Structure 1
Amino acid sequence: MPSISREEAAHLARLARLDLAPDELDHLAGQLDQILGAVAQVTEVAADDIPPTSHALPLTNVFREDEPRPCLSADAALAGAPAAEDGRFRVPQILGEEA
């Protein structure tokens, strides 16, 4: 089982720009050691003849048919808007004029 030293934990903390107290480094080293141990156990279980999967169970798409349905009119959709202009939502400009 891999062992993370206090110096390695300090190095990782510096890379992550974390300022940790000495007791926090000791605690972090122990936690990282447990994480690496768990990953090592998973690696032992994984077999070459088992294909990698993204989900434990097979997924089936449950898309419904795309059917037109009644929807809000433009006036009804814009009724709750703080500002509207020319039948559209008016929002503050965030980018400069670019041609």
Structure 2
Amino acid sequence: MSLDQATVRRVAALARLHVEEADVVRLQGELNGILGWIEQLQEVDVTGVEPMAGGGASALRWRADAVTDGGMAEKVLANAPDREGEYFGVPKVVE
């Protein structure tokens, strides 16, 4: 696959990127190089290779959907520069 200059301009517009006309040719070469690498990767034979992540038998561990305070206020506030009870102490903003 090869991109022409009009496609590079369209991709830049869709990505909301301002590209100078002088840079379009350079970006065209870079994007075509990236697409060339992707085409090479698609040619690799991966039959029998298990996915490393995101599929197969892997699943996320479920937890209860409950609101908690975390149960570790002392750890969280251990390095606080100023604290007031179980809260961070902050300077007064409004007078």
Q: TM-score range by the shorter chain?
A: 0.5 to 0.7
Q: CA deviation at 1:52?
A: 2.2
Q: Which letter does structure 2 place at the counterpart of 1:20?
A: V
Matches within 5 A, 1:29-68: 29-54=28-53
Question: Aligned AA for 1:48?
Answer: T
What amino acid does structure 2 have at the position aligned with 1:43? Answer: Q
Q: CA deviation at 1:87?
A: 4.8
Any gaps of 5 or more consecutive residues in structure 1?
55-72, 93-99
User: Mapping of 1:1-99 within 5 angstroms?
Assistant: 2-54=1-53, 77=78, 81=81, 83-91=82-90
In 2 relative to 1, CA 85–24 (structure 1 residues): closer, same or farther, beyond 3 Å? Answer: same
Give the TM-score taking structure 2 as reference length: 0.59
Instruction: Specify the SS of the correspondent of 2:43.
Output: helix
Query: CA-atom RMSD, angstroms?
Result: 2.7
Identity within the alignment, %: 30
User: Which letter does structure 1 place at the counterpart of 2:8?
Assistant: A
Bigger CA radius of gyration:
1
Distance in 2, matches of 1:47 and 1:22, equals: 41
Q: How many residues were matched structurally? A: 70
Aligned amino acid, residue 43 of structure 2: E
1:14: Cα distance to partner? 0.3
Alpha-carbon distance in 1 for matches of 2:14, 2:86: 51
Residue 96 of structure 1 aligns with which residue? none
Q: Distance in 2 between matches of 1:35 and 1:12?
A: 14
In the alignment, structure 2 segments of 5+ residues that lack a partner are 54-73
Change (3 A) 1:88 1:21: closer
